[in-house]
Structure 1
């Protein structure tokens, strides 16, 4: 890779969307991202994607996608609300993963099987149950 190529994407099936400088006072990129991630937007893009081994969407059809553009203050409120829910969702996923790992460890300890967690997934404790017969 040449120095002038730093940051380039190595695929013809990748489109980089940017808000033009002259529109930055009208469009929040995060609001645009949230709009493009809506189920309706994704379905719209899938319907227009070329049916190949790796479906791709050309920039021309993408340019005709209608996206609502509320005022900047409303966009900021939308982004804050959706980002907050995304963060909450990630926190719940982390809790669920922790509960699953704890359940595996406890089941192994209670059922008399030794248990070693996969590296990096749980603190390195070994749980064992000693049976008194």
Structure 2
């Protein structure tokens, strides 16, 4: 895997860009990634560990830590299918009503609706944070 910087005359700046692109390529599983092709990775990489923990505590409030991996997988698959309940349920090997019930349960516990645009974005960011070292 490799990361490639944008054109620059500053070697240290170019190295930093290439390093960020390389890290993003590794997470995405892509052989080559240009710095100009990353966006979310730039923002997520700048969040302090303290801010990350505070954000996760807010989004997953009321969810036991032992249950987080299961919720992350459900949400990751649900959003990977753009919220298509049937497709996500099929990928998770469950009935769509079961998946719908689980999403409703998550809303009841956290107070955030994983099916809404605004709250869904928060869950998607949380899943990204939990998927990173």
TM-score band, normalised by shorter chain: under 0.3
Structure (1/2) with the larger helix percentage: 2
Structure of greater Rg:
1
More strand by share: 2
TM-score (norm 2): 0.24
TM-score of the pair, normalised by structure 1: 0.24
